[in-house]
């Protein structure tokens, strides 16, 4: 996907998240009177449920994006689903995660139990009524995720080296969002959610260790992975074909 297409896609998804959140807050109660009790009552729960669901989906998409990135740089993507496909999926899952994360934050404006305000949502650690420290981790993670995702669109302008350094912040984002979910999420006690966090955490750690061994540390291990997956990572092969209409 070209930088121009990535930028337009990101803007479109973010606008969709903003419009979707405000439609849910302002329009749904009028269009669906049966939901009015849940959406407009003294303690509406629908917005809280939407925030929880969108947060979990955004986390899964972030995890998939990081796993795909590690598969690309660790050469595993050469086997499946292929370098170009893996890179496009890596990019799109990051964009979707960012848009759903924004929706996750904005939809809380409709919740009257905690009384979130725009300032409390967008200023880190300003959520005085609900676990401000752990919510702040998620707010900082959202801004870092936006920075990493935006770097897809300006990669050719800032150069590959700078882009790659920014891209390493993905691991910081993943850590911060994981801590945010574990410490401030109300679904953490559920067995399925705990399994999700454990699966995500251990898979990223395992692939990260594999990548470090295959790319940075031991020549013998690097030689073995080259023989298994082919010389050069899928990511480097993707960068070697800039004329095919794809973003490098």
Q: Which DSSP symbol is given to 43?
A: S
More confident residue, 244 or 10: 10
pLDDT at 236 over 70: no
pLDDT at 31 over 60: no
pLDDT at 86 over 90: no
pLDDT at 133 over 80: yes
Q: Give 39-76 pLDDT, tens digit per residue.
A: 555 555 778 888 898 999 999 999 999 999 888 887 77
How high is the pLDDT of residue 46? 77
Give, to the nearest 10 degrees, the angle between helix 46-73 and helix 3-26.
160
| Ranges 44-58, 71-85, 165-179: which has the least confidence | 71-85
Instruction: Read off the pLDDT of each residue in 138-158 and give the average, rounded to a whole number.
Output: 91
How high is the pLDDT of residue 226? 63
If pLDDT is split at 50, 70 and 90, which confidence band does 195 have?
A: very high
| Ranges 4-13, 102-111, 130-139: which has the least confidence | 4-13
Count, residues in the chain: 248
If pLDDT is split at 50, 70 and 90, which confidence band does 29 have?
A: low
Interatomic CA distance for residues 1 and 9, integer angstroms: 10
Interatomic CA distance for residues 238 and 83, integer angstroms: 6
Q: Where are the domains of the chain?
A: 3-35+46-244
Interatomic CA distance for residues 110 and 43, integer angstroms: 10
If pLDDT is split at 50, 70 and 90, which confidence band does 110 have?
A: confident
How high is the pLDDT of residue 210? 85
Full DSSP string of 100-155: HHHHHHHGGGG-TTTT--HHHHHSTT--TTS-HHHHHHHHHHHHHHHHHHHHHHTH
Rama region for 115: left / alpha / beta (φ>0; ψ in -120 to 50; rest): left
| H-assigned helices in 41-111 | 46-73, 83-106
């Amino acid at each position: 996907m070209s930088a121009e297409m990535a930028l337009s896609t990101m803007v479109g998804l973010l606008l969709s998240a903003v419009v979707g959140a405000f439609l849910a807050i302002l329009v749904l109660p009028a269009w669906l009177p049966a939901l009015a009790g849940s959406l407009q009552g003294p303690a509406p729960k629908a917005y809280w449920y939407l925030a929880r669901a969108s947060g979990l989906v955004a986390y899964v998409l972030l995890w998939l994006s990081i796993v795909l990135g590690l598969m690309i740089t660790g050469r595993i993507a050469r086997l499946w689903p292929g370098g170009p496909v893996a890179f496009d999926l890596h990019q799109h899952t990051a964009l979707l995660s960012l848009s759903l994360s924004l929706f996750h934050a904005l939809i809380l404006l409709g919740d009257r139990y905690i009384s979130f305000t725009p300032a409390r949502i967008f200023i880190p650690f300003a959520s005085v009524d609900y676990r401000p420290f752990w919510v702040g981790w998620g707010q900082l993670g959202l801004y870092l995720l936006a920075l990493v995702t935006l770097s897809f669109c300006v990669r050719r302008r800032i150069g590959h080296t700078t882009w790659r350094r920014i891209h390493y912040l993905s691991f910081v984002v993943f850590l911060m969002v994981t801590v945010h979910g574990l410490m401030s999420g109300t679904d953490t006690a559920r067995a399925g959610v705990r399994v999700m966090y454990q699966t995500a955490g251990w898979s990223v750690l395992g692939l990260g260790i594999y990548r470090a061994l295959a790319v940075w540390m031991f020549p013998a291990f690097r030689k073995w992975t080259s023989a298994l997956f082919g010389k050069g990572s899928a990511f480097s092969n993707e960068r070697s074909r800039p004329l095919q209409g794809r973003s490098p």
